Chains A and B, each alone.
Chain A
Amino acid sequence: MAEPSMRESYGRALAEYGAANPRVVALDVDTSASTLSNFFAQRFPERFFNVGIAEPCMVDVAAGLALGGFIPFANGFASLLSLRALEQIRSCVCYARTNVKLAASYAGISDFKDGASHYSITDLATLRALPGMTVIVPADAAEAAAWVPIVAEHDGPVYLRISRAGALPVYQPGTQLQIGRGLALRPGKDLTLVATGAMVGRCTKACEELALRGFDARLLEIHTLKPLDRGLLLQAAEETGAIVTAEEHSVIGGLGGAVAEMLSEARPIPVERVGIRDQFCPTGRDLDKLMDACGLSVAEVVAAAQRALERKSTKI
Chain B
Amino acid sequence: MASLTAEKIAELEEIARRLRLDSLRLIARRGAGHPGGALSAAEIISVLYFHTLKIDPSRPDWEGRDRFILSKGHASAVLYAALSRRGFFPAADLGNWGEVDCPHQSHPDRLKTPGVDMSSGLLGHGVAVGAGLALAARLKKLPYRTYVLLGDGECQAGIVWEGVNTAAKYRLSNLTAILDNNDVQLDGPVHEVMPLEPLAERWSACGWHVIEADGHSVRQVAEALELSAAIHDRPSLVLAHTTKGKGVSFMENNAYWHGNVPSPEQLKQALAELGEEGHDG
Contact = CB atoms under 8 A, between A and B. Distances in A.
Interface stretch (B133-141, B208-216, B253-261): B133-141
Contact of A64 (B121, B128, B165): B128
Nearest to A52: B165
A72 B140 CA distance: 14
A97 B111 contact: yes
Contacts of B162: 51-52, 54, 56-57, 60
Contacts of B131: 60-61, 64
Contacts of A72: 132
A69 B117 CA distance: 13
A65 B3 CA distance: 34
A96 B159 CA distance: 18
Contacts of A68: 132-133, 135-137, 139-140
Nearest to B119: A96
B163 A25 contact: no
Given A60-B163, A63-B132, A65-B132, A91 B139 contact: no
Interface string A245-262: 000000000000000000
B145 interface: no
B166 A96 contact: no
B119 A64 contact: no
B53 interface: no
A97 B110 CA distance: 9
B166 A92 contact: no
A57 B136 contact: no
Given A56-B159, A61-B129, A91-B121, A69 B136 contact: yes
Nearest to A22: B139
Contacts of B119: 91-92, 95-96
Interface in B164-208: 165-166, 169-170
A122 interface: no
Contacts of B129: 60-61, 63-64, 67, 92
B135 A61 contact: yes
A75 interface: no
B99 to A, nearest CB: 20
A60 B132 contact: yes
Nearest to A51: B166
A75 to B, nearest CB: 15
B20 interface: no
Interface in A204-251: none
Given A25-B139, A54-B162, A54-B166, A64 B110 contact: no
Q: Chain A's interface: helix, strand, loop or mixed, by majority?
A: helix
B79 to A, nearest CB: 16
Determine which residue in A25, A62, A72, A96 has the highest number of CB atoms from chain B within 10 A of its CB, and name it.
Answer: A96
Contacts of A10: none
A65 B137 CA distance: 9
B166 A61 contact: yes
A265 interface: no
A156 to B, nearest CB: 12
Contacts of B128: 56-57, 60-61, 64
A68 B125 CA distance: 16
Interface in A30-52: 46-47, 49, 51-52
B118 interface: yes
Interface of A: 25, 46-47, 49, 51-52, 54, 56-57, 60-70, 72, 87-88, 91-92, 95-97
9 contacts: A25-B139, A49-B135, A49-B166, A49-B170, A63-B129, A64-B128, A64-B136, A69-B140, A96-B111
Given A57-B163, A60-B131, A69-B136, 12 more contacts: A56-B128, A60-B129, A60-B163, A62-B132, A64-B136, A64-B146, A65-B132, A66-B132, A68-B135, A68-B139, A69-B140, A92-B119
